[in-house]
Amino acid sequence: MATSVDFIEFVRDQLSSIGDISYKKMFGEYMVYCGIKPVLLVCDDTVFVKQLPEVTQKFAECGITPDVGFPYSGAREHYILDIENNDLAVDMVRLLEQILPMPKPKKPKVRK
């Protein structure tokens, strides 16, 4: 089951206080961006976040033991973010925006 447009719009609305939040459809699912940094993966109406030490610490500070899952076949295990917990979701995206590196520039396509 793919993510519904209503759900991805709900995710974006939950994070609207941050400002520059957008999403792109990728392979039938969605990547959520803060500015130009990809911060969340949304698959099957579930929000996934990378298992990083800082993310683990943020969950622990909030007294939360997050559920884990695989966003798609062959993916690494991710934490599942309760997007309805608005304070946590906003704090998590702000944290990820700070700690994640800038995306590498795309190489230009070479035409033959």
The answer on pLDDT for 110 being more than 90 is no
Q: Helix 53-61 vs helix 86-99: angle between axes, to the nearest 10 degrees? A: 150
Helix (H, G, I), strand (E, B), or coil: what is residue 81? strand
Q: State how far the Cα of 60 lies from the Cα of 54, in Å rounded to an integer.
A: 10
Domains, the chain, with CATH or none: 5-99 (3.90.1150)
Q: Is the pLDDT of residue 112 over 80?
A: no
Which tens digit of pLDDT belongs to each residue from 41-98? 999 999 999 999 999 999 999 999 999 999 988 899 999 999 999 999 999 999 999 9
Would you tell me how many other CB atoms lie within 10 Å of the CB of residue 111? Answer: 4
Higher per-residue confidence, 47 vs 106: 47
Answer yes or no: is pLDDT of 1 > 70: no
